[in-house]
Amino acid sequence: MDNPIFEKKNVLVTGGAGFIGSHLCERLLKEAKVICLDNFSNSRPENINHLLQYPDFEFINFDVNKPIDLEQFDELDKFKVKFQGIQEVYHLACPTSPKEFEKLKIQSLLTNSVGVINTLELAVKYHAKYLLSSSSVVYGDNLDSRMALKETDQGTVNQLSQRACYDEGKRFAEAAVATYAQVHGLETKIARMFTTYGPHTRLFESQLIPDFIINALEGKDLVIYGDENFSTSLCYVTDMVDGLIRFMSTGPETSVVNLGGDRIIKYTDVAKMIIEMTESSSTLKFDKPLVFLSKKGAPDLTYAKEALGWFPLVRLEDGLRKTIDYVISHKEELVFDHKGRTM
């Protein structure tokens, strides 16, 4: 028997203080009581500080790789978790820093395995709907010769590569979600998310777009880790969040969906747009590729349009302008955060 909902549904977001997670938490507050679980290993407290004032928001500093017992946290009494439980779980926690990738390999491996199992067990306990933030990496490498990627495509991943903790980790995570759905009858969702950008991304993590912006503002070189053909698809964060929420609201027949921008664009073109928008004197510089920062294909969004009624709406020019404005208004805070983490 489902737990009673007294006022609003209770929603758990792991990695809720991260880039996408913080935007998701903010959006969910329109319709739910939100439990944000994060340990700041790959995120910033500043991303959620403005949410702490809301009575329907609660932050829990916790490592998702440990067994999760929400009923031990007195601060969640106001959400009546012991009686109402939780109705939805968004599992977004996972290290995604290209710069810190080597240092966070074990953390990434654990979050894609133990963390997924822990959150799935929680969903079983409360009969909650469950959404996994998977990735386009499950489709494998060598995407240049392929057309847009469909949900039915099966990729090949080297499980022994330097990236295996993330790439094969996401494939294992999907297998875990599918298995729990089969064994426990959970209603589960696997969101294969493609490259996303926007406010709240940490600086100097080699995520390219935020670093492009800060370097353009300071007249420094914009560094591209690859050659002039290095490219990706891009989706603005509010579009991604809208897709995640629409996906969660669908029925059990919708279980795997691609979310992302469906147009491939070269990073050189993005960098040039940022230089122009910031009226910068910066120039482009090319450096050796990073292990975690690789080419990614574009999603086929046919199914997302049909099943979710979703398609990204924010133009690249508009998304970049919003991101530039955010970096400008938070520049001192962002640079201070970076220096504090690297001392």
Sequence-ordered list of residues with C-beta below 8 angstroms from that of 215, at least 6 positions apart, any chain: 221, 222, 223, 282
First to last CA, the chain: 52
The amino acid at 264: I
Tokens 């997302």 identify what position? Answer: 304
Q: Which two tokens stand for residue 173?
A: 């995570």
Distance of CA 113 to the CA centre of its chain: 17
Active site residue 166: yes
CB 323 within 8 A of CB 208: no
CB 153 within 8 A of CB 210: no
Neighbour count for residue 191 (Cβ, 10 Å): 23
Q: Cα–Cα distance between 29 and 34 in angstroms, integer?
A: 6
Sequence-ordered list of residues with C-beta below 8 angstroms from that of 35, at least 6 positions apart, any chain: 10, 11, 12, 13, 16, 58, 60, 70, 76, 79, 81, 86
Catalytic residue among 90, 126, 130, 166: 166
Q: Which residues carry out catalysis?
A: 166
